[in-house]
Structure 1
Amino acid sequence: MLWRALSWLKQKLDERVQKFVIRVLSAGPVPKHVAFVMDGNRRYARANHMKVQQGHSDGFVALRRLLGICLQLNVRCVSVYAFAIDNFKRPSEEVDALMALAEAKLRELCQHGDLLQQYGVRLNVIGRVDMLPESVREAVRVAEDLTRHNDRAILNLCMPYASRDEMTRAVQDAAQEKIDLGTRNTMVEEKDIEKHLMTSVAGSPPLDVLVRTSGVQRLSDYMLWQSCEGVQLHFSTTYWPEFGLSDFLPIILDYQRKQWCL
Structure 2
Amino acid sequence: MGITSWIRTFPLMQYFIAWAQEIFMSVLRTGPVPQHVAFVMDGNRRFARRRKLEVKEGHSAGFESLARILEMCYQVGIKTVTVYAFSIENFKRPPVEVEALMEIARTKLLQIIHHGDLADRFGISIRVLGQRSLIPPDVLTAIDKSTEMTKDNTTAILNICFPYTSRDDIVTSMREIVSLSEDHKVDPDKIDENMIEQHMFTRDCPPLDILVRTSGVERLSDFMLWQSHQNCTVEFVDCLWPEFEPWRFGSILLKWSRQKAKEYRQIELEAEQKEL
TM-score range, shorter chain: over 0.9
The secondary structure found in structure 1 opposite 2:154 is coil
| TM-fit CA distance, 1:119 | 0.9
SS in 2 for 1:199: coil
Question: Which deviates more, 183-192 or 148-157?
Answer: 183-192
Equivalent residues of 1:178, 1:186 under 8 A apart: no
Hey, what's the Cα distance between the residues in 1 that align with 2:128 and 2:21? 29
Aligned to 1:110: 113
Q: Does 1:93 align with 2:78?
A: no
Q: 1:81 to 1:185 in 2, by over 3 A?
A: closer
How far apart, CA to CA, are the structure 2 residues paired with 1:189 and 1:77? 25
For residues 66-124 of structure 1, give each alpha carbon's deviation from its aligned partner in whole angstroms, at most 9, with x where no partner exists: 00000000100000000000000000000001101100001112334420111110000
**Larger Rg over CA atoms:** 2
1:120 correspondence with 2:123: yes
State the distance in 1 between where 2:8 and 2:224 align: 46
Distance 1:6-1:214 versus aligned 2 partners, 3 A rule: closer
CA distance 1:72–1:5, change in 2 (3 Å): closer
Secondary structure of the corresponding residue to residue 13 of structure 2: helix
Q: Give me the whole-angstrom Cα distance separating, in 1, the residues matched to 2:153 and 2:185.
A: 35
**2:207 aligned with 1:206, yes or no?**
yes
Give 5+ residue unaligned stretches, structure 1. Answer: none
- In the other structure, the counterpart of 2:239 is 238
Aligned-residue offset at 1:177: 2.3
**Which residue does the alignment assign to 2:160?**
157
User: What is the CA distance between 1:179 and its match in structure 2?
Assistant: 3.1
- The structure-2 alpha-carbon separation of the partners of 1:113 and 1:177, relative to structure 1 and needing over 3 Å to count, comes to closer
Q: Does 1:195 pair with 2:198?
A: yes
**Corresponding residue SS for 1:179:** coil
* 8 Å Cα contact 2:178-2:186 kept in structure 1: no
Residue 219 of structure 1 corresponds to: 220
Deviation at 1:175, TM superposition (A): 2.3
- Distance, in Å, in 2 between the alignment partners of 1:207 and 1:173 is 22
Given that 1:110 and 1:116 are in contact with CA atoms closer than 8 Å, whether structure 2 keeps it comes out as no
Amino acid at match of 2:238: T
Kept in 2, the 8 Å contact 1:175–1:186? The answer is: no
Q: Which amino acid aligns with 2:200?
A: L
- Closer, same or farther: CA 24–191 of 1 in aligned 2, 3 Å: same
- Distance in 2 of aligned mates of 1:149 and 1:225: 28
Quote the Cα distance in structure 2 between the aligned partners of 1:215 and 1:182: 45
Identity %: 43
Q: After alignment, is 176-185 or 41-50 more displaced?
A: 176-185
Aligned partner letter, 2:227: Q
Q: Deviations over 1:105-148 (max 9, x none)?
A: 01112334420111110000000121010000000100000000
Q: Is the CA contact 2:178–2:184 (under 8 Å) kept in the aligned structure 1?
A: no
Do the aligned residues in 2 keep the contact of 1:127 with 1:159 (CA within 8 Å)?
yes
Of residues 138, 144, 149 in structure 2, which corresponds to 1:146? 149
